[in-house]
Structure 1
Amino acid sequence: MILCPECIPGAFPVPKKLRCHRAMGFPVYDFRNPEHITNMLVTPQIRSRFLRMEPGTEAQGHTHDLGHEIFLILSGRCEFTIDGETEVLGPGQLCVALVDQWHQVRVVGDEPMIMYLSVTPHVQPTHTFWNEDGTRQPSRFAPSSSYDVEVDESVDEKELLVRLANASGAVAEAAGQASEVIGQTAAFEARTRETIWEALRELHTRLARLDDTWNELAPRAND
């Protein structure tokens, strides 16, 4: 929900020390450590972070085209509006905004609020904003730095387009193979279930690679 800087006026500044685009080792994160108030894991499958918002701060309402979002309040209190309904949450309480559910959060009380949130999947553009008349605003492709992700600038857009085309072709190939396997299945049993899953697993693996390349390429276009 609230990961783009433009969504959170007055949000706590994010130290740029943690860069976990790929999970490495066994990092342990603590929301009481200011250096951990950041995006901890950003992959096509999921984006996870701690977020601190100051008293009186209100995030801009929006939806997600593909992702469900989970919010777990760790300290302070905040008011969530999700799909037209409003609740106030405190420490230990959790809520969920599903795909296409408009949601907004604001801090209530005199204390800062810290939450853990995750969005799954994480595919650009991650946020969809709406006009008051209910019409959809143009897509906003936030820079990778908004999610504390370092990008290899030595790879240009043409190379990424080639990678995207190759990844897309690989997905199509895997989808075709999965369709063929399923079509040849005469009876669904333990053995055939495993065969189908092997084909679907390869399809999902290739789709994640496609999304990863797209996430790197999408923010680079000149408006």
Structure 2
Amino acid sequence: MGDVRLCRRKVVNPLLPFKEENVMGFEVYDCRRDIRNILVRPQIRARFCRLEPGTGSLDAWHTHDLGDEIFIILSGRVEFKINGEVKEVGPGQMCYALTDEPHSVRVIGDEPVYMYLSVTPHIQPTHTFYDEKGERQPPHFRPSSDYDTETDSTTPVAELIDGHIDALRALATQAQASVCIQEERGQELKQALVAGDMEAASRVREAMWEPLLQLFKQTSAVADGWNGLAPRAGSVDAVY
């Protein structure tokens, strides 16, 4: 089966005739067969889970420093504790935990539960845990295998560090350039809106968006490089 975590599909024009030899087809995943992380990128980590009754990895209180997490129950029933509130969730229902909201989940009954979850964004360290007193523990950096991906063990770690720094420098350069554009175009946008000229305002908005688009893409590149570096930059703790 193809792996969308490790390779890019070719982007095609949907208005042109489809030619199978020109594009890698998308995969269809089954919640009862593909019990793993399926899509792992800086923008998102998405997986199917099978939760067994009793103690498991998801019943420990934890938060995500950057990520919002969505849970969709596909079969069975669970009890979620999110930010101090307890609710039962069943098939066809969803809930979410926002950044920094403590949460845990446990199975209700004797049958296993199938669940979809996604965390956005996916940037190491992904989980923050707490001791029995509720005190925040140090960051837990994890091996890439915890997310069903492979750690880059061939690139020299010094090269990964240099690449990370280069990506940050590029981000800083783009951010500074974008600030100048946003300041200049922002004044034009104010004038157009005050004048009620929506056509002019739309043109200015488009001019403001293009450098922001490149900035957001570079931010993702920084996160991608960091996720590659982090598992090799010190000790790691396997959680799952």
State the TM-score, normalized to the length of structure 2. 0.82
Structure number with larger C-alpha Rg = 2
Query: Partner residue of 1:50?
Result: 48
Quote the Cα distance in structure 2 between the aligned partners of 1:197 and 1:53.
43
**Secondary structure, counterpart of 2:71 in structure 1:** strand
Which of 3, 21, 35 is 2:5 aligned to?
21
RMSD, aligned α-carbons: 1.4
Aligned counterparts, 1:80-159, within 5 A = 80-159=80-159
Query: How far, CA to CA, are the matches of 2:101 and 2:88 in structure 1?
Result: 18
Q: Quote the residue 2:68 is aligned against.
A: 68
Write the letter of the residue equivalent to 1:88: E
CA distance in 1, matches of 2:2, 2:146: 13
Q: Structure 1: which 5+ runs fail to align? A: 1-16
> How many correspondences in the alignment?
205
Q: Could you give the per-residue CA deviations for residues 131-186 of structure 1, whole angstroms, max 9, x where no partner exists? A: 23332101000110100112331112101001101100111111111101011122
1:57 positional shift: 3.3
Aligned to 2:220: 208
Identity %: 51
The structure richer in helix per residue is 2
- 8 A Cα contact 1:20 1:149, kept in partner: no
Aligned to 1:4: none
TM superposition outliers: structure 1 runs of 4+ over 2 Å: 17-20, 22-25, 131-135
Task: Report the TM-score, using the length of structure 1 for normalisation.
Answer: 0.88
Separation in 1, partners of 2:230, 2:2: 23
| 81-90 or 127-136, which deviates more | 127-136
